[in-house]
């Protein structure tokens, strides 16, 4: 399996999670409930972003620099992470719920950019053999972590 196919398959799981959070966020009344959902999103998103940076963006870094996208790519991962951290520091359910929904919207925009532009660009710039080798490494990591 190519690394791009593996990452798109992981995105599929997140699209379901984003739908669920958007649907249920209005029913989350307490700050603790909102922090738990944000913590779940953080715990699942973090391994995805990490594997994406290490097994897909790093091999593409020299090309991304040419296209000026590296900064925005790393920046978006960091921004999403920072918003999720801010939810854990939040003192009000209303503010935390608003941040949670903003994070989901930011994730959707980020995922959409990856699916439309970043992954196809990777498929053009990397050789099929490299994409498959990186995909095998992804599989190994997921087996090792039981994810
Ligand atoms: Fe990403
Ligand atoms: Fe992604």
Domain boundaries, the chain: 3-145
Residue 108 has pLDDT above 60, yes or no: yes
**65 CA distance to ligand 2 middle (Å):** 19
Q: On the CB side of 108, how many CA atoms lie within 13 Å of its CA? A: 13
DSSP 114: I
More confident residue, 20 or 145: 20
CA–CA dist 48, 110 (Å, integer): 13
Q: How far is the CA of 49 from the centre of ligand 2 (A)?
A: 6
Distance 7 CA to ligand 2 centre (A): 6
Model confidence, pTM: 0.92
Measured in Å, residue 119 CA sits from the centre of ligand 1 at 10
Q: What is the pLDDT of residues 31-74, one digit of tens each?
A: 999 999 999 999 999 999 999 999 998 888 777 666 666 567 78
Given this model, what pLDDT does residue 64 score?
67
Rounded Cα gap, residues 93 and 21, in angstroms: 15
pLDDT of residue 72: 74
Mean pLDDT, the chain, whole residue set: 92
């Amino acid at each position: 399996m190519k690394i791009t196919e593996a990452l798109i398959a992981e995105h599929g799981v997140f699209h379901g999670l984003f739908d669920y959070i958007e649907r249920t966020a209005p029913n989350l009344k307490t700050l603790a409930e909102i922090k738990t959902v944000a913590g779940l999103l953080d715990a699942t998103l973090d391994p995805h972003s990490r594997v994406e940076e290490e097994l897909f963006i790093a091999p593409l870094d020299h090309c991304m620099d040419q296209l000026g996208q590296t900064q925005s790519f790393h920046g978006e991962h960091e921004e999403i992470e920072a918003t999720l951290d801010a939810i854990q520091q939040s003192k009000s359910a209303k503010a935390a719920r608003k941040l949670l929904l903003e994070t989901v919207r930011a994730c959707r925009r980020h995922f959409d950019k990856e699916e439309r532009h970043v992954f196809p660009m990777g498929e053009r710039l990397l050789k099929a053999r490299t994409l498959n080798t990186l995909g095998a490494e992804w599989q190994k990591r997921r087996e090792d972590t039981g994810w």
